[in-house]
Structure 1
């Protein structure tokens, strides 16, 4: 696996965050807009349970590179 093309998913049960390392330009907009969720020096670095789904989606929509995306999980 190429470390430049890692794709990971993180969920809070309601929304799933998708991160694609190869697209990331390290603008840190995610950290600046939602520091409760995004911790680049930790593993895992995305903790979606630390914020509301609405704030997570708003933060992801501000990602300039498209490295972050999301999808809503289906309810049973």
Structure 2
């Protein structure tokens, strides 16, 4: 099975990456920052839903490593 390309979402400061094949659906992201992570919406990640530092802090809590980030332009 080949790895898929991560999906990317940006707010202009940071790019949020999501690798669906790594996701274990723990729900940490949804419970921790529902203004950004909302599986009932499309796209399910809204990078404009919170401040960049809040988004990064929540991404670091992802137990599977499915969520990641990098700073735009770096």
TM-score past 0.5 threshold: yes
Provide the aligned length of Structure 1 versus Structure 2.
Answer: 73
Is 2:50 the counterpart of 1:51? yes
Aligned to 1:8: 7
Once superposed, which parts of structure 1, at least 4 consecutive aligned residues long, lie more than 4 Å away? none
Quick check: 1:6–1:21 contact (8 Å CA) kept in 2?
no
- For 1:64 and 1:29, how far apart are their aligned partners in 2? 8
The structure where helix makes up a greater share of residues is: 1
Structure 1: where are the runs of 5+ without partners?
Answer: none
Secondary structure of 1:70's counterpart equals: strand
- RMSD across aligned positions (CA): 1.8
